[in-house]
Amino acid sequence: MTPHHGSPSIIPLTAEDRRHMQYVLALAIRAKDVGRHPFAAIVVDQHGRIMAEAGNNSMPPEGDPTQHAERLAAAEAGRRLLPEALARCTLYTNAEPCAMCAGAIYWCSIGRVVYAMAEQRLLQLTGNHPENPTLSLPCREVFARGQRPIEVLGPIAELEQEAAAPHIGFWS
């Protein structure tokens, strides 16, 4: 059964999922520590190898508003791997991919997405912040319009608080 948008997933994480999520949560804090927004993503292949990783880089002049972590990681994986391998990859991210990043994940042929914090929860934390006016468009709705299925696991109840922590107070 597909979980409802915004309600914590009841699907248990595998040990490998948990390990990769802990890594991505630490990467998001590292992004914050270097003055960027607290977002990060990695793409892991079917053998558990990290093929791409990225932190947020959405602030000019160093970055630009399209450099969300998920889009950067998906693009790097898309350059390195063939579509058959990408279809067996998982993108892990601390927060649900926005519509732009969901589009990038789709166009890069990545087969699975795992995220900790729902976009709705992030929206509660960012509000209409000029640097991150969070969309309200679940990634599942974007993927549902595509020509191939993308498996989605998230939000993850046991990780949502940890994922939200670096955002609390950041946007106010």
Extract the tokens encoding 129.
């912040």
Extract the tokens encoding 63.
């970055």
- Among 17-25, 54-62, 65-73, 107-115, which window interacts with Zn ion (CB under 5 A)? 65-73
State which of positions 84-143 bind Zn ion (CB under 5 A): 98, 100-101
Active-site annotation holds for 70:
yes
Extract the tokens encoding 11.
């699907």
CB of 80 to Zn ion, least distance (A): 20
Q: What is the 3-state secondary structure (H, E, C) of 67-95?
A: CCHHHHHHHHHHHHCCHHHHCCCEEEEEE
Q: Which of 20, 36, 68, 112 binds Zn ion (CB under 5 A)?
A: 68
Q: What is the 3-state secondary structure (H, E, C) of 110-133?
A: CCEEEEEECHHHHHHHHCCCCCCC
Based on CB atoms, which residue is closest to Zn ion, 91 or 101?
101
CB of 144 to Zn ion, least distance (A): 18
Active site residues: 70
Question: Which residues in this chain contact Zn ion in the complex, by CB under 5 A?
Answer: 68, 98, 100-101
